[in-house]
């Protein structure tokens, strides 16, 4: 996790194919899943935030595409706070039908 502003900006643009200035939050982890970095554009500049766990690992959500996972704000909060997303289940009435 040595990448800073420019390195993370390049990863989002070149490897993920997204616009880093879109306002979306992009989350990165190291191989051991003990550190997270977030990159987000707030309209006037880029923010890079980091979190390191003293014990344990982050439970990264599994998806079909391992490079990119879309999650709701509640899922992001659970991930950052160390909860396992696989062990949680939203109520049937909670999700909005498409």
Give the residue extent of every domain in the chain.
5-87
DSSP-based three-state secondary structure for 13: helix
Q: pLDDT band for 86, please (50, 70, 90 cuts).
A: confident
Per-residue pLDDT of 20-30, as tens digits, reads 999 999 999 99
Per-residue pLDDT of 53-83, as tens digits, reads 899 898 877 765 667 788 888 888 988 888 8
Residues in a beta bridge with 28: 37
pTM of the model: 0.80
Calculate the alpha carbon distances from 97 to 14, 93, 94 in Å: 33, 9, 9
pLDDT on residue 63: 61
């Amino acid at each position: 996790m040595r990448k800073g502003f420019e390195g993370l900006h390049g990863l989002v643009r070149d490897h993920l194919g997204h616009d880093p200035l879109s306002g979306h939050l992009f989350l990165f982890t190291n191989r051991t899943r003990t550190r997270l970095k977030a990159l987000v554009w707030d309209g006037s500049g880029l923010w890079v935030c980091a979190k390191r766990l003293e014990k344990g690992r982050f439970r990264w959500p599994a998806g079909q595409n391992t490079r990119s996972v879309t999650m709701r704000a509640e899922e992001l909060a659970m991930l950052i706070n160390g909860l396992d997303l696989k062990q949680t289940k939203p109520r049937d009435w909670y999700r909005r039908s498409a």
